Amino acid sequence: MAKPDGASGIQSRLRLPAGLAVSADGPLAQRDYPEPGHPYRTPFQRDRARVIHSRAFRRLAGKTQVFTHRYSDHFRSRLTHTMEVAQIARAIADALALNEEFTEALALAHDIGHPPFGHAGERALDEAMRAFGLRFDHNLHALRIVEYFETRYAAFRGLNLTLGVREGIIKHSRDYSSAEHPELSKYFLDQRPPLEAQLIDLADEIAYLTADMEDGVEAEMLHPNQIRAHVRIFDSALRAAEHEYTNAPEKLLFNEAIKRMLNRLAGDLIAETAGRARSAGCTSLAEIRIFPERLAAFCPETEELRREAKQYLYATLYSSDDLQRDLREAATVVQDLFAFWINNPSLLPLTHRNQIETEGAPRVVADYIAGMTDNYILQQHEEWRRQWSSPPCR
């Protein structure tokens, strides 16, 4: 059946040459520990399943995206955010004729290295690690999770994900220097990641910009009329919704505007990435790899609108008194427990104590904390406060 409204013709102009997609039979589909092929699943389908069935993935359900559970269980967790990123990324990959299964596996794994309390927890852990000349980076921690901490298989430690997915976990949002990270040398640090990996960070931007606006309005910290006065891409989307649905309730108009904003960002990312890849003359993944810059991008006008929306959320929602209070509390919880276990490593669980000799106490403590959900670390902090901390002065 033909697609309506000339969609097939539009899509054919956006689809990229087959040689740009990551192949399920190529070197990026190889694993550190060779495994026999599966009778009906590609290597990247198997990676997707391994991520979904991992403990680290399940724990995302208990980790903050923006709003902690003190507000409502209706707001997004790190897990539901991840699922939305995967849906958006896969749709974009499909439109560009890239490898959808590879893209989805990357999207599902992109946040599994996040500690409790999201970016606030990451900043607190990083600050604590700096005192020991170390750093905490959620991308690199995600690699440690899939290569070491997940123990589900008798034949190997970790998930034994394909080389391409492990590379994408590291490089989807930034580039790493081989001089600073020689341990990552096998992940082609002198090359660009595949287009599928380049898309993940931008799909992430699309997902959280629209979702955080929605959750912010639901939390009554933002109002559509305030947003439209400062965010042009939302205002144009809301105007179009008001024109089409003249008698619709405000809530439904807002939902329509969010949907249109998301579609505009995704559509622009598809068109601009296709145009940039064609203008670059790339016809193979190898050429994508050596191109001087990443080719997945928004057009300049849309990029300006994206930045405007992001700046508005930082100036209003993320900097609100309520959320800032949560960030301060999260930092205190992480820092208190980090200092406690550094000074009392014998109180760590046995599996973590056994790693101190090879990994060092700071890394082991950071690994332990990073694996916790919000609720669990709060329970641990309450227990620490009752048993170990000095009573407050009266």
255-300, pLDDT tens digit by residue?
999 999 999 999 999 999 999 999 999 999 999 999 999 999 999 9
Digit-coded pLDDT (tens) for 215-257: 999 989 999 999 999 999 999 999 999 999 999 999 999 999 9
Sign of the CA dihedral with 210 first, then 216, 222, and 223 last: positive
Digit-coded pLDDT (tens) for 298-335: 999 999 999 999 999 999 999 999 888 988 999 999 99
Residue scoring higher pLDDT (317 or 8): 317
pLDDT band at 392 (very low <50, low <70, confident <90, very high): very low
SS3 for 227? helix
What's residue 32's pLDDT? 96
pLDDT band at 394 (very low <50, low <70, confident <90, very high): very low
Strand-pair partners of 77: 64
User: Helix 118-130 vs helix 321-343: angle between axes, to the nearest 10 degrees?
Assistant: 40
Residue 340 has pLDDT above 80, yes or no: yes
The answer to whether 103 and 200 have CB atoms below 8 angstroms apart is yes
Rounded to the nearest 5 degrees, what angle is found at the Cα of 119, between the Cα atoms of 219 and 144? 135
The answer to whether 100 and 44 have CB atoms below 8 angstroms apart is no
Quote the CA–CA distance of 137 and 148 in Å, as a whole number. Answer: 16
Neighbour count for residue 124 (Cβ, 10 Å): 26
What's residue 6's pLDDT? 42
User: Helix 374-387 vs helix 321-343: angle between axes, to the nearest 10 degrees?
Assistant: 60
What's residue 72's pLDDT? 61
Whole-model pTM: value is 0.92
